[in-house]
Amino acid sequence: MGEQWWRDAVIYQIYPRSWADSDGDGIGDLPGITARLPHLADLGVDAVWLSPFYTSPQHDAGYDVADYRDVDPLFGDLAAFDALVARAHELGLRVIVDIVPNHSSSEHPWFQAALAAEPGSTERARYIFREGRDGGDQPPNNWQSLFGGPAWTRVTEPDGSLGQWYLHLFDTSQPDFDWTNPEVCTELEDVLRFWLDRGVDGFRIDVAHGLVKADGLPDSEHDQWSEPTALAPMWDQPGVHEIYRSWRRITDSSAVEGQDADRILCAEAWVLPAEALAKYVREDELHQSFNFEYLMTPWLADDQRRTITHSLAQAEAVGAPQTWVLSNHDVVRHASRLGYPQQPGLHRVGGIGADDPQPDAGLGLRRARAATAVMLALPGSAYLFQGEELGLPEATRLPDEARQDPTFARTEGASKGRDGCRVPVPWEADAPSYGFGPADRAWLPQPSEYEALAADQQRGVPGSTLELYRTLLALRQALRLGRGRLTWLDGFPDTVLAFTVASTAGQVTVLANLGGAPMALPDGATVLASSQPLEPGAPLGTDETVWLTL
């Protein structure tokens, strides 16, 4: 089976509308991505994951899919996609694409047919339509949309009367599929085969824990962030696992001839506890699942140690690699999230607006660099979010009129939403839109601090965040740290994370000072990398991480 490349891969997420704009319309596109792929080959990652680029009305930035087998004209066409895959493979980069199986767009032909059909029809059976309570006037249950408001919308029947309700765990434009319907299963399996035939190397599965709902759709009284996720009737139900066993058979059978050619599946599953998440990566299910418990763990030594230890143990119990992540398109960037005072326990920081308390930008970046240096030493696989290698902070002062996340609208501004992490990437400080595109247009306004963080201002500059990432990734690969084994070290202050990772290619000692006084490095240590420039003989400062050989 080869070396199973995904067990220690570093995969870089591209949010297509914010990566690079080739035609000047202010929205990133596939040709723009293709042109900038050498940046990723130079950075040292193994694969790229593309957020959705499919045909969509873009009510939720492409996570409302109207055609699963085509490219939205905003981003290009199938020929542009094929060119992107070919160029990526030429550069030694694999390509992972998003699959959105929990829901479609309300403009998908299936849902339009459902609206035109009668209650009880085969067309409606592809989605979750139900009669309302109280004579039909109230939603079928108390479920709430993750974007705010009820998770049910009532339809007007073909005869003009008020009728059934349909479920949408997200926006009203994203009706949930009914995965008890074999037609749904067959359709999404065929979608997987379509993109596998075009050469993709795997899929990231959106809302992987949400496809199956509890029988009878009972009311929910569950807090996902403090209790086992499966207590909620819409999350982490046992039936999802049989779906993924079927998908695993498809990816396994699609492997092309040759060594180390696995096609992979990675779950976006906001699941607690770690034991439940580990079920998704059993040998006959998915290859990876994002470790959101790690992402939500504060920058406190006890919490970090506990989460890392528990996460590794749960993955090892099912023979899977752990998958680490600090930022993505749905969360506040860790360069800003870590700029706030840290409190014990798991926390998901909401979107930040201009009137909210602002993070300490300098402290946040310092901690983000240190946290990344910890993460990239850990055994397993890691995901990076576009721009984090530049140290990009959250855009926290976006004007309300510029915001496009449906969460902002559905909560009437109570939630600022996710736009702040999705602002287009700066490539060149002195170019229009900081090099994002040929025109001075960007679908979200770029903050002025992005100018100094542009890629051309950091490339080749010792001590820059970009060069730190390049150094860490090169060492990680040379020492095969993703294939290594972690051992905690005793004899260090409680505020210091101290561990070794040893593989067949070498060993590294990692020391991370999470808030204590500056600490002298061990005698005879050789510094391989440090999250902040470190003079010979200087102590390890607060919120700094160092990789050593002893």
Amino acid at position 35, single letter: A
Report d(CA 396, CA 307) in Å as an integer: 28
**Coil, helix or strand for 244?**
helix
Catalytic residue among 268, 388, 389, 394: 268
Widest distance between CA atoms in the chain: 82
Report d(CA 60, CA 474) in Å as an integer: 36
Which helix (DSSP H) or strand (DSSP E) does residue 133 occupy?
none
Q: Which residues pair with 79 in a beta bridge?
A: none
The DSSP output letter for 535 is: -
In the numeric block, which tokens belong to residue 315? 């993955």
Catalytic residue among 123, 176, 206, 330: 206
- Is 157 tagged catalytic? no
Report d(CA 136, CA 64) in Å as an integer: 27
Closest CA to 203 of 5, 375, 46, 50: 50
- Is 268 tagged catalytic? yes
Strands (E), 246-365: 264-267, 288-289, 323-325
Which helix (DSSP H) or strand (DSSP E) does residue 246 occupy?
helix 240-254
Contacts (Cβ under 8 Å, ≥6 apart) of 190: none
Contacts (Cβ under 8 Å, ≥6 apart) of 378: 308, 312, 322, 324, 481, 486, 501
Three-class DSSP labels, 467-478: HHHHHHHHHHHH
Q: How many CB atoms lie within 10 A of CB 118?
A: 13
Sign of the alpha-carbon torsion through 144, 145, 149, 152: negative
Cβ pair 16, 53 in contact under 8 A: yes
In the numeric block, which tokens belong to residue 122? 């085969």
Closest CA to 409 of 483, 351, 323: 351
In the numeric block, which tokens belong to residue 373? 């240096």
Q: What is the dihedral of CA 263, 384, 230, 413, to 10 degrees?
A: -130
Closest CA to 244 of 183, 282, 286, 197: 286
Cβ pair 534, 505 in contact under 8 A: no
Give the residue numbers marked as catalytic: 206, 268
